[in-house]
Amino acid sequence: MRVVIYARVSTKDQSCELQLRDLRAYCAARGISVLREYVDIGESGAKDSRPQLNELMAAGRKRQFDAILVWRFDRFARSTKHLLLALEEFRSLGIQFISYQENIDTSSPLGQALLQLFQPSPSLSAI
């Protein structure tokens, strides 16, 4: 499995080392080799467009990896809308999303069930 890591901190005086250490250890414990680490430093999670996140999304659209590993959901996206749109895009591309702190892995049955809880339901007016 081709796995990438995404880490982010909001200010330039913060460090992603804690996130990266935990994510690297997670991969090492499971025998997973990391294809690439995407790290945004000094980038607000409220912004949908960040340099490394944009590169990650472009690589995902080219199907260059099979799974993305993040430390927490809020390191990837601060808004629920941005997170859900990205998760839906990953799902449509066949890319698994793993959140270390929340212990969510969309490749597992439980992760799939939890992901379904977040999906928007069809409009009642369409029924």
Instruction: Name the pairing type of β-strands 96-99 and 67-70.
Output: parallel
Q: Is 60 exceeded by the pLDDT of residue 12?
A: yes
Q: What is the pLDDT of residue 65?
A: 97
* Torsion angle of C-alpha atoms 41, 89, 97, 28, degrees rounded to 10: -70
- Percentage of the chain surpassing pLDDT 90? 62
- Pairwise pLDDT comparison (25 vs 123), residue with the higher score: 25
Q: What is the pLDDT of residues 38-83, one digit of tens each?
A: 999 999 888 888 999 999 999 999 999 999 999 998 999 888 888 8
Q: Are 42 and 11 in contact (CB under 8 A)?
A: yes
The DSSP symbol for 11 reads S
For the chain, list the domains and their CATH numbers. 3-126 (3.40.50.1390)
Task: Please state, in angstroms and rounded to a whole number, the distance separating the CA atoms of residues 54 and 8.
Answer: 13
- Percentage of the chain surpassing pLDDT 70? 83
pTM, entire model:
0.84
Q: What is the pLDDT of residue 46?
A: 82
Closest CA to 54 of 68, 38, 70, 69: 38
- Catalytic site positions: 10
